[in-house]
Amino acid sequence: MKQINIRAYETLITLLGSYLAINSFFNSSLYNTIASGIVQFLRLFQIRTISSQQVSLIIPLLVTLLVSFLIAYDYIMGKPENMINIYQLNLLLITPEILSYSRLDWLNLIKKPHILEPTRNPVYVFLSGAIILVGYLSLYFTSKSRTTGKELAMRGVEENRINHVFMKQSLWSIKLTLASAIISTLVFISIDPLNNILHSLIGVKPYNYLIFGVPGVLLLLYSIRFYLREQEKGNE
C-alpha cells in the first residue's frame, strides 16, 4: 500500500464517518424535538414566512454545511489535535441516538422524558459508532506517524527510511483498528445468543465484564505497546 492509498483511505473513512454522524443526528428523536420546537416558536411569534416543511429542509442544510466546513478544515490541517476535533464533532452528533438506548432518563430535570427515544435499529447505530471510532483512530495514528516523519527529517534521516517507517506504522495502526472493529462487531452481534447460553450455564452471575472486558483491555494494551515500540524503532 502506497502513501496515496493511505490518503485515499483517510479521505474515505473521514467522509463515511462524518456522513454517518450527521445522518444519525437527523434521525434522532432529539432532532425531531428541536425541529418541532422551532416551528412552535415561529408560530408563537406569528412568523409565517417559514413553514414547518421549510424548517425541515433548512436546518439539515445549515448543519450539514457547518459540519462539513469544520471537518474539511481539520482534515486539511492534518495535525493530531485536528483529528481529535473531527472525532469529537462526530461523537457529538451521534451521542443523542446512542443515549436513546440507555434506560436512564437523561433529561428528567426539564420534564421531557420522551426527547431521547430509539428510532432506528441498534445494529445500525452500533456500526455507525464503530466506523466513526475506526476513522478517528486511523486518522490519529497516521497523523502521528507523519509528525514522527517530520521529526526524523529534521534529524537528517533519509527520505526512504522515513517513508518506510511511516508506511509500517500506518499499515499496522489501520490493521489493528479494523481488526478491533471487526471483533467488536462480531461480539455485538453474538452477544444475545451468547448471553442466553452463559445464563443457562452459570446463572445470573456478573460474567459480562470478565468475558468481554478483559479481552478488550488486553487488545487495547497490546495495540498501544506495539505502536510505542514501533515509534521507538523509528526514532533510533
Give yes or no for residue 49 having a pLDDT over 70: no
| pLDDT at site 84 | 80
Q: CA 135, CA 74: separation in Å to the nearest integer? A: 14
Q: CA 86, CA 133: separation in Å to the nearest integer? A: 11
The mean of the pLDDT values for the chain is: 77
- For the stretch 170-209, pLDDT in tens is 888 888 888 888 888 887 887 777 767 766 665 555 555 5
| pLDDT at site 207 | 55
- For the stretch 105-161, pLDDT in tens is 555 555 555 567 777 888 888 888 889 888 888 888 888 888 888 888 888 878 888
Q: CA 222, CA 96: separation in Å to the nearest integer? A: 32
In the chain, pLDDT over 90 holds for what percent of residues? Answer: 0
Read out DSSP for 190-211?
HHHHHHHHHHHHHTT---HIII
Domain ranges of the chain: 3-235
Give yes or no for residue 50 having a pLDDT over 80: no
Burial 91-129 (b: 16+ CB within 10 A, else e): eebbbbbbbbeeeeeeeeeeeeeebbeeeeeeeebbbbb
pTM above the 0.95 mark? no
Confidence of residue 100 (pLDDT cuts 50, 70, 90): confident
Return the amino acid letter for 219.
L
